[in-house]
Amino acid sequence: MRGNAATGWSLLLGALALAVVISIGLYNWDTRARQAEASLRPEPLAPLAAASPTAVLTASIPQTVPISVAGGDAAAGQATFQSTCNGCHPNANAGIGPALNGPAFSTRYPDNSAIAAVVRSGRGAMPAFSQTLLSDSDLTNVIAYLRSLSGGAPVAAAATAGASPAAAPTPLSQQVLSSITPGLSTFMLETAKRMGRSWFAGQANNWDEAAFEVREARGVLQAGAARSNASRQQVIGAFNDAVMTPLATAAQSGDQAQYQQAYRAAIQACNACHAAQPYGPTGGNLGFIRVQVPNTSIWDVYAYAK
């Protein structure tokens, strides 16, 4: 037993001694490794002096030269406009793009450089017109043409002391307001869809849905009116009160005859309203947009035949 105990203690002491030797060796190895790594690092560089940003910015940013209409040929500009811009701005009126005439245009673009910047860089769906597509001289002529439609650029108010106070702004005409406010086409499409759904719900005697769709259509019209000008708001408000509210009431009553009579009256009122609204591009009205009682689908609410 004493031999076995002595052997165990000897092994334990030997293991402890070996562990100490290994620890010292690892410590020495780690120290030398850190020193070697440090010797390979480059010396730190001195902080760089701050460079003057003025010279860099002046050299890198091109200077914009304002475009002047002095010498611009409005007649030549009109010809260029017709071949290049008329598709989106018919005769400088609102089309796919906004109107480019009248006091609203002059106020929005008080100097020619602002117009040139939009043409050169593009905006929204309008592409950029480089000098390859539209030379500087052609652009100058086009701007002269647009200015001729609006009586020239607005005169800046005097900024000197004692100058006469600026005159009160002239209220925009109904024509100008119509050209710069959003149209109602998207709202009308949603209204037509709701009207079609109401009709087929009524045919199935689902009166809750029939009334719901009419109320939704009325709300869509109200939302469209809120985005438009005052005259359209008045027209749509009167239409909702006189037509859509009675139609919703008739649908909620569950009386098929009363509902159909109110629905057909609403269809007639829609067509009469379209015929009373002017349409600038044709010089006529919107009477060509006609609706009807749908037959097989909600989109049958539109009558396409002349």
Residue 120 falls within a domain, yes or no? yes
**Per-residue model confidence (pLDDT) at position 52:** 46
pLDDT tens-place string over residues 46-57: 454 444 444 433
> Who wins on pLDDT, 245 or 96?
245
Cα separations in angstroms, 71 against 21, 77, 138, 141: 97, 12, 12, 8
**Per-residue model confidence (pLDDT) at position 257:** 95
**Confidence tier at 256 by pLDDT (50, 70, 90):** very high
Quote the mean pLDDT of the chain: 77
CATH number of the domain residue 249 falls in: 1.20.120
Residue 51 falls within a domain, yes or no? no
Whether residues 186 and 298 fall in one domain = yes
Phi-psi region of 283 (alpha: psi -120 to 50; beta: other; left: phi over 0): left
**Per-residue model confidence (pLDDT) at position 64:** 41
**125 has pLDDT over 90:** no
Residue 214 falls within a domain, yes or no? yes
Percent of the chain with pLDDT over 90: 22
Whether residues 136 and 186 fall in one domain = no
**Confidence tier at 246 by pLDDT (50, 70, 90):** very high
**Confidence tier at 65 by pLDDT (50, 70, 90):** very low
> Who wins on pLDDT, 126 or 253?
253
Whether residues 145 and 202 fall in one domain = no
pLDDT tens-place string over residues 130-161: 888 889 889 898 888 888 887 655 444 334 44
C-alpha span between 194 and 221 (Å, rounded)? 11
C-alpha span between 272 and 294 (Å, rounded)? 18
Cβ-contact 138, 69 below 8 angstroms: no
**217 has pLDDT over 70:** yes
Which of 94-103, 154-163, 210-219, 270-279 is the least confident region?
154-163
C-alpha span between 234 and 23 (Å, rounded)? 93
**Per-residue model confidence (pLDDT) at position 250:** 95
List, in sequence order, every beta strand (DSSP E) within the chain.
Answer: 278-279, 284-285, 290-291, 302-303
Whether residues 227 and 286 fall in one domain = yes
Whether residues 140 and 189 fall in one domain = no
**Per-residue model confidence (pLDDT) at position 115:** 85
Cβ-contact 235, 249 below 8 angstroms: no
Q: Count up the domains in the chain and report the number.
A: 2
- Provide the residue range defining the domain that includes 292: 181-303
Whether residues 189 and 282 fall in one domain = yes
* Mean pLDDT, rounded, for 219-228: 83
C-alpha span between 298 and 306 (Å, rounded)? 20
What amino acid occupies position 268?
Q
CATH number of the domain residue 105 falls in: 1.10.760.10
Residue 245 falls within a domain, yes or no? yes
**Per-residue model confidence (pLDDT) at position 160:** 42
pTM: 0.44
Cβ-contact 140, 72 below 8 angstroms: yes
* Mean pLDDT, rounded, for 236-262: 93
**Confidence tier at 305 by pLDDT (50, 70, 90):** confident
Whether residues 222 and 115 fall in one domain = no
**Per-residue model confidence (pLDDT) at position 51:** 47
pLDDT tens-place string over residues 25-34: 666 666 666 6
End-to-end CA separation in angstroms for the chain:
121
Whether residues 261 and 188 fall in one domain = yes
**273 has pLDDT over 50:** yes
**5 has pLDDT over 80:** no
